[in-house]
Chain A
Amino acid sequence: DGGITQSPKYLFRKEGQNVTLSCEQNLNHDAMYWYRQDPGQGLRLIYYSQIVNDFQKGDIAEGYSVSREKKESFPLTVTSAQKNPTAFYLCASSMLGQGNHEQYFGPGTRLTVT
């Protein structure tokens, strides 16, 4: 079955620790994305990548870092510099180009930092 996996579903960390969220897709999509969602809010773009070894900052990239060493994988690191990291994180992927290329989303990771 093709899809996007994110792990873990729930993650707890102490303040001051870096934490890496996993995102893997087997849809052969070139583009991958990370979003942050706070309670009752919409999605805010953190980073996106259109090709291996290249990525662009989204609207709220500060305090986050990513890598894209493989087409299938786009891990997100939440660093200690992120002032308010507790949130729901969604990873997505899509085909490049135009047309009816919607984003496919993973199940999300709920990160709690105390």
Chain B
Amino acid sequence: AQKITQTQPGMFVQEKEAVTLDCTYDTSDPSYGLFWYKQPSSGEMIFLIYQGSYDQQNATEGRYSLNFQKARKSANLVISASQLGDSAMYFCAMRERNTGNQFYFGTGTSLTVIP
């Protein structure tokens, strides 16, 4: 079974609007961390936001927030007030305590911001 599932291969959003990128995960480990990365066309991977499985509140970092629904095993990324520079690939990832230091990545979502 896939550890991380991103079902949206491509998304479009109007500049200044908000957009939600979906991510669901599969784990039986009670202790895990969820990460979102941005990959512009240059190829570098940029860490955006982290959510721990025991965190009571949804994580926020500037215009990025994580909609963490533990019972549904979803960790959607919300980008508010989209900017043209947000156009990139976005990857959801998970790290489990039991599997040590291995990270599992989804297949990514390509976001295009339309002026």
Contacts and interface: CB of A to CB of B under 8 A. Distances in A.
Contacts of A45: 102-103
A33 B50 CA distance: 19
Interface string B82-115: 0000000001010101001111011110100000
Interface in A73-114: 88, 90, 92, 94, 96-105, 107-108, 110
A8 to B, nearest CB: 13
Interface string A10-51: 000000000000000000000101010000111101001010
Contacts, number: 58
Contact of A103 (B97, B103, B108): B103
A98 B34 CA distance: 12
B18 interface: no
Nearest to B31: A98
Contact of A100 (B50, B101, B103, B110): B50
Interface residues of A, number: 28
20 contacts: A41-B107, A42-B108, A48-B102, A90-B43, A92-B45, A98-B33, A99-B33, A99-B52, A101-B33, A102-B35, A102-B47, A102-B50, A103-B47, A103-B93, A105-B44, A107-B42, A107-B44, A108-B43, A108-B44, A110-B43
Given A94-B101, A98-B97, A101-B95, 11 more contacts: A31-B101, A42-B105, A48-B102, A50-B101, A88-B43, A92-B45, A96-B100, A98-B31, A99-B33, A102-B50, A105-B37
Identify the 4 closest CB pairs spanning chains A and B, nearest first: A105-B45, A42-B107, A31-B101, A43-B105
Interface of A: 31, 33, 35, 40-43, 45, 48, 50, 58, 88, 90, 92, 94, 96-105, 107-108, 110
